[in-house]
Amino acid sequence: MVASKLSNVDFSKYFQPPSLKDARRRRHEAVHIINDFSIPDDIHEIGKGKKYLIETYGCQMNEHDTEVMAGILEEMGYEETSEPEQAAILLINTCAIRENAENKVFGHIGKYKALKREKPDMVLGICGCMAQEESVVNKILEKYPWVDLIFGTHNIHRLPQLLREAFFGKEMVVEVWSKEGDIVENLPQSRHGHFQAWVNIMYGCDKFCTYCIVPYTRGKERSRRPEEIIAEVRDLARQGYKEVTLLGQNVNAYGKDLKDLENYGLGNLMDEMRKIGIPRIRFTTSHPKDFDDHLINVLGKGGNLCEHIHLPVQSGNSEILKIMGRGYTRERYLDLFHKIKAAVPNASFTTDIIVGFPNETDEQFEDTLSLVRECRFDGAFTFIYSPRAGTPAARMKDNVPMEVKKERLQRLNDLIDQFSAESNAKYQDKIVEVLVEGESRKNSNVLSGHTRTNKVVNFSGPKSLVGQLVSVKITEAKQWSLDGDWQREPEVAGR
Ligand code: 5AD
Ligand code: SF4
């Protein structure tokens, strides 16, 4: 499995370049649950007195993978540092979703050339989604020979063994698995916070939206057993965590692969979550196609299930949605949206939108604007389409000039801003529950946190409130955040 930096290495063994045909076959492969993580004795304490730094790009899934890698490194004795100069191990956990994310990472790898020259014993490793791409690995081998280690998203649990190879070998260690079927349980995790936690409920994606690289970099959809998830969340509750976010690339497909559990889906899991004594449960990311009535009914029960739904639409035009391979039309999205809104009346909605998909016409883009006007989203992540090598959309000829795409993005963002401000204005003078996360980024005298509906709230108060649920009266609704006054009283429970 480990390849060294030799020009005659056959990399086809280690990589699976994006291939829709091959990737679709994988659905029939069995899922293995690996439970035997351990750190070999000879390197168990190798990190004592040394430091590590992990730079993380991309989504919450990556952030959580970083927590797992940090947990492994801390078990080996390493301590975290934020200074690259102090790190004995420097890992870059990468994101492949758009080209600009990748360019940023290449910039950083370039930047560390000088540091590696000064500190030749430091291990510089590249991991995450970019490492799953053959073209990226080849580029690193060719142009960035000061990198010591490359590993992918499927073999994080082998970090100790890979580090041993990197410490004691002379050549670049490359281990990227193309297999898609494993779930590794019982890995150590060093969670970043003590009151908010991420919990993976499933891995991978089988949706194969035609623009997206994720199904290739993250492998096939595979769900963790509900009993494992419930035990993990119960344990977090016992430790006093206040908020848990259940994670997956397509959480609504949860349970489909658990063949022994008949019709067990995200709705069932969320119903279990309601019984656990954690004040807030969130989940992300949803796919409209798999969002079923059972889940809607369970969300309608409220309790600790937060009223915020992130429901990526991508486009408001049915033809574009079809070419994107999204599996729903504009009308079906809107039906679903209104159904959830009716069941969870106070819910906030956010979405993801891509503009400038190949050959998107002005009229088709106007459909996206009109859908935004109908849904009045609380916020949206908006992107210009970025071709990803190996995906079907990257092979489509595109007649939309970049200037036009940029203009569309601007128009879309202006509209989103308008609705964000409008939805924030509704909070004026209301008292909301805020989970206090820390000092505001802009002003250390101000505390900052989120409402259940995921709105940012800033207010003055003692630092001792960090990690607590407090009541705040909104005094000023701004475009992106809410300002308020802390209501001195004990913690509020529930809604
Ligand atoms: N180009 C632009 N945006 C993309 N996304 C995914 N792939 C691409 C791409 N190739 C966006 C989608 C997705 C979000 C995480 O990133 O909107 O929901
Ligand atoms: Fe990518 Fe999300 Fe589509 Fe999966 S559902 S292919 S992660 S955009």
The 3-state secondary structure of 345-381 reads CCCEEEEEEEECCCCCCHHHHHHHHHHHHHHCCCEEE
Q: Are residues 318 and 175 in the same domain?
A: no
Phi-psi sector, 419: left (phi>0), alpha (psi -120 to 50), beta: alpha
Whole-angstrom distance, CA of residue 226 vs CA of residue 112: 42
Q: Are residues 438 and 298 in the same domain?
A: no
- Model pLDDT, residue 7: 43
**Ligand 2 pocket test: which of 212, 254, 290 has the largest number of ligand atoms within 8 Å of its C-beta?**
212
Confidence of residue 168 (pLDDT cuts 50, 70, 90): confident
- Which of 425, 443, 458 is the last residue before a domain boundary? 425
Whole-angstrom distance, CA of residue 295 vs CA of residue 265: 8
Question: For the domain that residue 480 is a member of, what is the CATH number?
Answer: 2.40.50.140
Confidence of residue 25 (pLDDT cuts 50, 70, 90): low
Q: Is residue 333 in a domain?
A: yes
Residue 236 DSSP SS3: helix
* Position with higher pLDDT, 489 vs 141: 141
Q: Is 72 in the pocket of ligand 2 (CB under 6 A)?
A: no
Q: Is 95 in the pocket of ligand 2 (CB under 6 A)?
A: no
Q: Which DSSP letter does residue 122 get?
A: S
Q: Is residue 493 in a domain?
A: no
Q: What number of CA atoms fall less than 13 Å from residue 218's CA on the CB side?
A: 25
Residue in 431, 12, 394, 71 with CA at minimum distance from that of residue 210 = 394
Q: Is residue 116 in a domain?
A: yes
Long-range CB contacts (< 8 A, 24+ apart) of 98-107?
98/383, 98/386, 98/388, 99/386, 99/387, 99/388, 100/386, 101/57, 101/58, 102/130, 102/136, 104/57, 105/57, 105/130, 106/139, 106/144
Contacts of 15 (CB under 8 A, 6+ apart): 132, 133, 134, 137, 176, 178
Contacts of 456 (CB under 8 A, 6+ apart): 448, 449, 450, 480, 481, 482
- The closest ligand to the CA of 216 turns out to be 2
What is the 298 CA–ligand 2 centroid distance (Å)? 24
Whole-angstrom distance, CA of residue 481 vs CA of residue 450: 9
Mean pLDDT of 356-379: 98
**Residue 212 annotated as part of some ligand binding site:** yes
- The closest ligand to the CA of 356 turns out to be 1
Q: Is the pLDDT of residue 377 over 90?
A: yes
* Position with higher pLDDT, 489 vs 63: 63
Confidence of residue 221 (pLDDT cuts 50, 70, 90): very high
Residue in 91, 170, 164, 169 with CA at minimum distance from that of residue 131 = 91
Q: Is 354 in the pocket of ligand 1 (CB under 6 A)?
A: yes
Range of the domain at 88: 11-182
CB atoms within 10 A of CB 111: 10
**Residue 205 annotated as part of some ligand binding site:** yes
Q: Are residues 219 and 354 in the same domain?
A: yes
Structure tokens at 476: 């000023």
In 171-328, where does DSSP find H-type helix?
Answer: 214-217, 226-238, 266-274, 293-300, 318-324
Q: Is the pLDDT of residue 370 over 70?
A: yes
Q: Are residues 128 and 68 in the same domain?
A: yes
What is the 212 CA–ligand 1 centroid distance (Å)? 6
Confidence of residue 15 (pLDDT cuts 50, 70, 90): low
- Model pLDDT, residue 230: 98
Structure tokens at 77: 């004795």
Contact 170, 207 (CB under 8 A): no
- Model pLDDT, residue 468: 96
Helix (H) or strand (E) holding 118: helix 99-118
- Which of 425, 447, 474 is the last residue before a domain boundary? 425
- Model pLDDT, residue 134: 86
What is the 215 CA–ligand 2 centroid distance (Å)? 7
What is the 350 CA–ligand 1 centroid distance (Å)? 15
Confidence of residue 423 (pLDDT cuts 50, 70, 90): very high
What would the pLDDT profile of 425-457 be if each residue is shown by its tens digit? Answer: 999 999 999 999 999 888 888 999 999 999 999
Q: Is residue 190 in a domain?
A: no
Q: Are residues 206 and 255 in the same domain?
A: yes
Q: Is the pLDDT of residue 198 over 70?
A: yes
Whole-angstrom distance, CA of residue 338 vs CA of residue 104: 39
**Ligand 1 pocket test: which of 62, 211, 252, 310 has the largest number of ligand atoms within 8 Å of its C-beta?**
211
Q: Is residue 74 in a domain?
A: yes
**Residue 375 annotated as part of some ligand binding site:** no
- The closest ligand to the CA of 97 turns out to be 1
Q: Is 218 in the pocket of ligand 2 (CB under 6 A)?
A: no
Q: Is 211 in the pocket of ligand 1 (CB under 6 A)?
A: yes
- Model pLDDT, residue 183: 85
R_g of the chain computed on alpha carbons: 23
The widest CA-to-CA distance across the chain, in whole angstroms, is 69
Q: Are residues 340 and 395 in the same domain?
A: yes
Mean pLDDT of 358-381: 98
Q: Is 357 in the pocket of ligand 1 (CB under 6 A)?
A: no
Contact 488, 461 (CB under 8 A): no
Q: Is residue 2 in a domain?
A: no
Question: For the domain that residue 110 is a member of, what is the CATH number?
Answer: 3.40.50.12160
Confidence of residue 177 (pLDDT cuts 50, 70, 90): confident
Helix (H) or strand (E) holding 55: strand 51-56
Give the CA distances from residue 462 to residues 192, 309, 326, 429, 438, in Å, rounded to whole numbers and listed in that order: 22, 31, 47, 22, 10
CB atoms within 10 A of CB 201: 24
**Residue 95 annotated as part of some ligand binding site:** yes
What is the 97 CA–ligand 1 centroid distance (Å)? 6
Q: Are residues 340 and 293 in the same domain?
A: yes
Q: Is residue 191 in a domain?
A: no
Residue in 283, 209, 210 with CA at minimum distance from that of residue 244 = 283
- Structural domains in the chain (count): 3
Q: Is 253 in the pocket of ligand 2 (CB under 6 A)?
A: no
**Atom 13 of ligand 1 has which residue's CA nearest to it?**
352
Contact 324, 357 (CB under 8 A): yes
Question: For the domain that residue 384 is a member of, what is the CATH number?
Answer: 3.80.30.20
Q: Are residues 215 and 364 in the same domain?
A: yes
Mean pLDDT of 407-413: 98
Q: Are residues 382 and 300 in the same domain?
A: yes
Mean pLDDT of 51-65: 95
Q: Are residues 118 and 228 in the same domain?
A: no
Dihedral sign from CA coordinates of 132, 61, 183, 210: negative
**Rounded mean pLDDT of the chain?**
91
Backbone φ and ψ of 366, nearest 5°: -60, -35
Give the rounded percent of residues in the chain with a pLDDT score beyond 70: 92
Mean pLDDT of 346-373: 98
Q: Are residues 439 and 413 in the same domain?
A: no
- Which of 182, 209, 236 is the last residue before a domain boundary? 182
What is the 225 CA–ligand 2 centroid distance (Å)? 22
Q: Is the pLDDT of residue 232 over 80?
A: yes
Where are the extended beta strands (E) located within 176-268? 182-184, 196-200, 202-203, 222-223, 243-247
- The closest ligand to the CA of 398 turns out to be 1
Q: Is the pLDDT of residue 301 over 60?
A: yes
Confidence of residue 193 (pLDDT cuts 50, 70, 90): confident
- The closest ligand to the CA of 381 turns out to be 1
Contact 259, 298 (CB under 8 A): no
Q: Is 196 in the pocket of ligand 2 (CB under 6 A)?
A: no
Q: Is residue 187 in a domain?
A: no
What would the pLDDT profile of 102-123 be if each residue is shown by its tens digit? Answer: 999 999 999 999 999 999 999 9
What is the residue whose two structure tokens read 């809104």? Answer: 341
Q: Is 250 in the pocket of ligand 2 (CB under 6 A)?
A: yes
Mean pLDDT of 49-60: 96
Mean pLDDT of 196-219: 94
The highest-confidence range among 85-94, 146-155, 174-183, by mean pLDDT, is 85-94
Q: Are residues 279 and 381 in the same domain?
A: yes
Residue in 111, 102, 149 with CA at minimum distance from that of residue 130 = 102
What is the 210 CA–ligand 2 centroid distance (Å)? 9
What is the 326 CA–ligand 2 centroid distance (Å)? 8
